[in-house]
């Protein structure tokens, strides 16, 4: 795995850990409400669902970081799997929740998939 792929994978993992933080711990705080564009009433009603989503984002981040520490070719296979998961989640989120999720989540994952696999 080349260094550019590793840097991109780490950046996406950091993004997903940040999303975990927002969804699991800051959902009903000003930072979480601002990030997701909801109010205190909606945050209270949806907090448990957001925490569940945050946990899944943490799993994506953990899998991406795990791929950095594996031996090639297994590292590339694991990175591909988790990047595809991120891209699919981003497309689905863009279609069902907010179009900006496609730009924030799916596009970086797809770019990283291309960079990762152009070397092979």
Domain ranges of the chain: 3-118
Helix (H) or strand (E) holding 117: helix 107-118
Residue 102 has pLDDT above 90, yes or no: yes
Please give the share of the chain, as a percent, with pLDDT higher than 70: 99
Residue 25 has pLDDT above 70, yes or no: yes
pLDDT at residue 42, rounded to an integer: 95
pLDDT at residue 67, rounded to an integer: 97
DSSP letters of 83-114?
HHHHHHHHHHHHHHT-THHIIIIIHHHHHHHH
Rounded average pLDDT over 60-64: 98
**pTM, rounded to two decimals:** 0.92
Rounded average pLDDT over 3-20: 97
pLDDT at residue 120, rounded to an integer: 59
Angstrom distance (rounded) from CA 109 to CA 23: 20
pLDDT at residue 60, rounded to an integer: 97
């Amino acid at each position: 795995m080349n260094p550019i792929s590793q840097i991109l994978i780490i950046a996406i993992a950091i993004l997903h850990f940040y999303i975990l933080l927002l969804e699991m711990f800051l959902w009903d705080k000003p930072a979480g409400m601002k990030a997701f564009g909801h109010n205190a009433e909606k945050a209270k009603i949806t907090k448990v669902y957001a925490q569940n989503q945050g946990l899944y984002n943490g799993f994506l981040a953990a899998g991406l970081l795990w791929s950095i520490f594996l031996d090639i070719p297994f590292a590339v296979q694991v990175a591909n799997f988790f990047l595809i998961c991120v891209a699919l989640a981003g497309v689905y989120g863009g279609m069902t929740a907010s179009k900006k999720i496609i730009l924030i989540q799916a596009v970086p994952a797809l770019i990283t998939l291309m960079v990762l696999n152009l070397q092979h």
